[in-house]
Structure 1
Amino acid sequence: MARFRCSVCASEGKRVYDPQRHECPRCGSKDVVFALTIDELPDEIIEAIASAEPLDDPGSDGG
């Protein structure tokens, strides 16, 4: 189950995420955010994350 939050109707809750229908399950707005667990992500996304270059150098001191 994915959590969702709609900024149009202010609905929040859980539902099964369908990547073909990225809209609020209550009002149908496209202005909705879904939070998925790693188990719900498509394999292609997991592979892209795993093979991505790091954004920073872990050996640097940040300055």
Structure 2
Amino acid sequence: MASSGDELVKYITEKVVVYIEDPRASRARRKAEKEPWAEKWFGMLPLGWSIWRSKWSRNDKK
């Protein structure tokens, strides 16, 4: 049991060190490259729905 705890601490420490050593600009760029969460979890459905809704709302304004 103790060895799994030690492994967990080692893993978390490695992740923290990699994060701290990574330049701030690199982290910001990686964050900007992320795809929107709706497309990640639901695919193209939210995009299609938003396009359909925007066309529908423009037709109502005429």
Flag whether TM exceeds 0.5 (same fold): no
TM-score (ref. length: structure 2):
0.30
More helix by share: 2
Q: Looking at CA atoms only, which structure, 1 or 2, has the larger radius of gyration?
A: 2
TM-score (ref. length: structure 1):
0.30
More strand by share: 1
